Amino acid sequence: MGERQCYVLAADFKNNYPPNIPNTQVGVYGDWFNDGNPTWDDGDGEDLYLKEVTHWMQLPEPPQEVNRG
């Protein structure tokens, strides 16, 4: 996923869900303990239990406020 850690939407199709229904969550991927075992985290230290992520995408930027005068 690259060096920079950022929030992404990740889908795991192998996590005890019926076929074709992914476990989809927003999280951050990283090696939090520097032990060579990176994991998916919710950003607050809680494991998301995403084990075989096959798809992910970065979240879009939040909408900008428009000043109308």
Task: Read off the pLDDT of residues 22-42 as tens digits, 9 standing for 90 and up.
Answer: 777 888 887 777 888 777 888
64 burial class (0-12, 13-18, 19+ CB within 10 angstroms)? exposed
Is 50 exceeded by the pLDDT of residue 2?
no
67 assigned to some structural domain:
no
Would the pTM count as exceeding 0.75?
no
68 assigned to some structural domain:
no
CB atoms within 10 A of CB 23: 18
Range of the domain at 28: 8-58
Q: Taking all residues of the chain, what is their mean pLDDT, rounded to a whole number?
A: 76
Q: Give the separation between CA 12 and CA 17, rounded to whole angstroms.
A: 9
What's the pLDDT score for residue 32? 73
Q: What is the number of structural domains in the chain?
A: 1
Q: What percent of the chain has pLDDT over 70?
A: 80
Is 50 exceeded by the pLDDT of residue 48?
yes
